[in-house]
Amino acid sequence: MTETISTLEFHQAAADKGWRLIAGGPAAYFSTGSYATGAALVQAIAHCDRASGQEPHVDLRPTGVTVQIPILGPEDGGFAADYLRLAERISVAADELGLTADPSQLQTVQFCVDALERPAVAAFWRAVLGGYVDRDNEFDLIDPRWRSPALNVQQMDAPRPQRNRIHVDLYLPYDQAVPRVRAALAAGGHLVSDEPAPYWWVLGDSEGNEICIVPVGGLPDEPPAFT
């Protein structure tokens, strides 16, 4: 049977090394000051011993490296003790490079959309965000590449017309913007405004939540007129 630890036990063992539990699993941010130092840390992480299925997500930036060990299906608020051991090995690798973890740089961003008809709204957002998959259920959507915020569709009991609505800007390569608009419309969305086109299009899902699709790096050769 796999040895497990509680979230409290993880914090007690790893908090002093800068590790924290955030949505998705344990994470740490190491300020490196340069790509070269960050790349050295990434290489060391790649050679850390780890149990089967423990593939840390590593984000290398010019001045720092974020590492998260994704937890798949934690039970009863705990998870395999191997996650703690991997975190400790990564901290040792960072120590050898003279790096210290900074937990103040960790966060998880998620957008929430209130909906009366959750399946229809979720279908729109799954299509317009392109490639998002269901995490726990069809209303909890994540980017499988872990590059973008998650989106959760929450149940409303009654319309709330005076409540503030969310607004999302989606920046895409210029040649991907028009196909994404088409996919969103085919999934039940509607065009709110094409007045700023081809610089961006404003779309809405079936309940009026809006997103702007913005081409980046150029403009579509012949932007279509969506209706």
* 3-class DSSP string for 59-84: EEECCEEEEECCCCCCECCEEEHHHH
Q: Within the chain, where are the H helices?
A: 7-14, 35-46, 81-96, 118-129, 174-186
Task: List C-alpha distances in Å: 211 to 53, 80, 134, 156.
Answer: 36, 39, 20, 20
DSSP for residue 184? H
pLDDT, one tens digit per residue, over 120-139 is 999 999 999 998 988 877 88
pLDDT given at position 75: 46
pLDDT, one tens digit per residue, over 148-198 is 898 989 898 888 776 666 779 898 888 888 999 999 999 999 999 999 998
Look at residue 100 and tell me whether its pLDDT is greater than 80.
yes
Closest CA to 180 of 112, 138, 125, 113: 125
Helix (H, G, I), strand (E, B) or coil at 192: strand
Q: What is the mean pLDDT of residues 67-77?
A: 68
Closest CA to 132 of 218, 211, 62, 42: 211
Look at residue 35 and tell me whether its pLDDT is greater than 90.
yes
Pairing outcome for strands 167-173 and 210-216: parallel
Same CATH fold assignment for domains 4-105 and 110-216: no
pLDDT given at position 18: 93
Weakest-pLDDT range from 41-50, 68-77, 195-204:
68-77
- Amino acid identity of 89? R
- Amino acid identity of 166? I
Look at residue 48 and tell me whether its pLDDT is greater than 50.
yes
Look at residue 218 and tell me whether its pLDDT is greater than 80.
no
Weakest-pLDDT range from 19-33, 173-187, 210-224:
210-224
Look at residue 86 and tell me whether its pLDDT is greater than 90.
yes
What pTM was estimated for this model as a whole? 0.76
Contact in structure between 154 and 166 (CB atoms under 8 Å) = no
Q: What is the mean pLDDT of residues 33-38?
A: 96
pLDDT given at position 136: 76
CATH node for 4-105: 3.30.1360.20
Q: What is the mean pLDDT of residues 199-220?
A: 87
Q: Write down the mean pLDDT value for the chain.
A: 87
Domain boundaries, the chain: 4-105, 110-216
pLDDT given at position 109: 84
Residue of 100 and 169 predicted with greater confidence: 100
Closest CA to 188 of 161, 174, 208, 217: 208
Give percent above pLDDT 90 in the chain: 43
Q: Can you name the CATH fold of 110-216?
A: 2,3-Dihydroxybiphenyl 1,2-Dioxygenase; domain 1 (3.10.180)
Weakest-pLDDT range from 17-31, 59-73, 126-140, 212-226:
212-226
Pairing outcome for strands 57-61 and 25-31: unpaired
